[in-house]
A and B are shown apart, each in its own frame.
Chain A
Amino acid sequence: MSARPEPLLKTGFPHRHLLGTEGLSAAEITFLLDRADSYVEVNRQADKKSAVLRGRTVINLFFESSTRTRTSFELAGKRLGADVINMSVAWSSIKKGETLIDTAMTLNAMHPDVLVVRHPDSGASKLLSEKVTCAVINAGDGSHEHPTQALLDALTIRRRRGSLAGLTVAICGDVLHSRVARSNIHLLNTMGARVRVIAPPTLLPAEVERLGVESFFDMRRGLEGCDIVMMLRLQTERMQGSFVPSIREYFRFFGLDRDKLTAAKPDALIMHPGPMNRGVEIDSEVADDIDRSVIREQVEMGVAVRMACLETLSRDWHGVGQGGNGGGAQ
Chain B
Amino acid sequence: MNPVPPLAKVGAKATAKASEVVAYVNARLLDPASGLDCRGALVTEGPRIAELGPEVLADGTPEGLSVVDCEGHCLAPGLVDMRVHLREPGEEHKETIQTASWAAAAGGVTTLVALPNTEPVIDDVAGVEFVARRARDVKLVKVFTYGSVTRGAEGKELTELGLLSEYGAVAFTDGLTAVADANVMRRALSYARTFDLVIAQQPQEPALAQGVMNEGQLATRLGLAGSPAAAEVIMVERDLRLVELTGGRYHAANISTQAAIARIAEAKARGLRVTCDTAPHYFTLNENAVGDYRTFAKVSPPLRSESDRRAVAEAVADGTIDSIASDHSPHDQDSKRLPFHLADFGIVGLESLLPLSLELVHKGEMALLDLLACLTFRPAEICGLTAGRLAQGCAADLVLFDLERPWRLDPDAFRSKSKNSPFDDHPVQGRVLRTIVDGRTIYQADA
Partner-B contacts on A (CB < 8 A) = 200-202, 217-218, 240-246, 248-249, 252-253
Determine whether the beta carbon of A242 is less than 8 Å from that of B158: yes
CA distance A246 to B151 in the complex (A): 11
Determine whether the beta carbon of B191 is less than 8 Å from that of A200: yes
Within 8 A of A (CB), among B112-168: 150-151, 156-163
Determine whether the beta carbon of A202 is less than 8 Å from that of B190: yes
Determine whether the beta carbon of B187 is less than 8 Å from that of A242: yes
CA distance A252 to B187 in the complex (A): 19
Q: Mark B159-199, 1 if CB is under 8 A from A, else 0.
A: 11111000000000000000000000001001101100000
Determine whether the beta carbon of B157 is less than 8 Å from that of A240: yes
Determine whether the beta carbon of B190 is less than 8 Å from that of A245: no
Determine whether the beta carbon of A252 is less than 8 Å from that of B190: no
Which residues in A have their C-beta under 8 angstroms from that of B284?
none
Determine whether the beta carbon of A241 is less than 8 Å from that of B158: yes
Determine whether the beta carbon of A242 is less than 8 Å from that of B157: yes
Determine whether the beta carbon of B162 is less than 8 Å from that of A243: no
Determine whether the beta carbon of B190 is less than 8 Å from that of A244: no
| CB within 8 Å for A245 and B194 given contacts A202-B187, A252-B163 | no
Determine whether the beta carbon of B163 is less than 8 Å from that of A249: yes
Which residues in B have their C-beta under 8 angstroms from that of A241?
150-151, 156-159
CA distance A159 to B166 in the complex (A): 42
Closest to A218 in B: B194
Which residues in A have their C-beta under 8 angstroms from that of B160?
245-246, 248-249
**7 nearest interchain CB pairs?**
A241-B157, A249-B160, A201-B190, A245-B160, A217-B194, A245-B158, A200-B194
Give the shortest distance, in Å, between A242 (CB) and chain B (any CB): 7
Determine whether the beta carbon of B191 is less than 8 Å from that of A202: yes
Total interface residues on B, CB under 8 Å, equals 17
Q: Mark B188-226, 1 if CB is under 8 A from A, else 0.
A: 001101100000000000000000000000000000000
CA distance A253 to B158 in the complex (A): 16
Which residues in B have their C-beta under 8 angstroms from that of A244?
158, 191
Which residues in A have their C-beta under 8 angstroms from that of B150?
241
Interface of B is mostly: helix
CA distance A241 to B190 in the complex (A): 13
Closest to A241 in B: B157
Decide yes or no whether B246 CB sits under 8 A from chain A: yes
Give the shortest distance, in Å, between B122 (CB) and chain A (any CB): 14
Closest to B191 in A: A202
Partner-A contacts on B (CB < 8 A) = 150-151, 156-163, 187, 190-191, 193-194, 246-247
Which residues in B have their C-beta under 8 angstroms from that of A218?
194
23 A-B residue pairs with Cβ-Cβ distance under 8 Å, sorted by A, are: A200-B191, A200-B194, A201-B191, A201-B246, A201-B247, A218-B194, A241-B156, A241-B157, A241-B159, A242-B157, A242-B187, A243-B191, A244-B191, A245-B157, A245-B158, A245-B160, A245-B162, A246-B160, A248-B163, A249-B160, A249-B163, A252-B162, A253-B194
Which residues in B have their C-beta under 8 angstroms from that of A240?
157
CA distance A201 to B158 in the complex (A): 14
Determine whether the beta carbon of B157 is less than 8 Å from that of A253: no
Give the shortest distance, in Å, between B149 (CB) and chain A (any CB): 10
Which residues in A have their C-beta under 8 angstroms from that of B246?
201
CA distance A102 to B38 in the complex (A): 85
Which residues in B have their C-beta under 8 angstroms from that of A201?
190-191, 193-194, 246-247
Closest to A243 in B: B187
Give the shortest distance, in Å, between B123 (CB) and chain A (any CB): 10
Closest to B246 in A: A201
CA distance A4 to B31 in the complex (A): 70
CA distance A140 to B190 in the complex (A): 28
Give the shortest distance, in Å, between A213 (CB) and chain B (any CB): 17
Residue from B156, B157, B191, B193 whose CB has the most chain A CB atoms within 10 Å: B191
CA distance A242 to B181 in the complex (A): 12
Give the shortest distance, in Å, between A234 (CB) and chain B (any CB): 14
| CB within 8 Å for A217 and B193 given contacts A241-B150, A241-B156, A241-B158 | yes
Closest to A206 in B: B245
CA distance A244 to B159 in the complex (A): 9
Closest to A200 in B: B194
Give the shortest distance, in Å, between B155 (CB) and chain A (any CB): 11
Closest to B188 in A: A202
Which residues in A have their C-beta under 8 angstroms from that of B194?
200-201, 217-218, 253
Inter-chain pairs besides A201-B194, A218-B194, A252-B163, 12 sampled, C-beta below 8 Å: A200-B190, A200-B194, A201-B193, A201-B247, A241-B157, A241-B159, A243-B187, A244-B158, A245-B159, A248-B163, A249-B163, A253-B162
Give the shortest distance, in Å, between B184 (CB) and chain A (any CB): 8
CA distance A200 to B247 in the complex (A): 13
Which residues in A have their C-beta under 8 angstroms from that of B163?
248-249, 252
Which residues in A have their C-beta under 8 angstroms from that of B247?
201
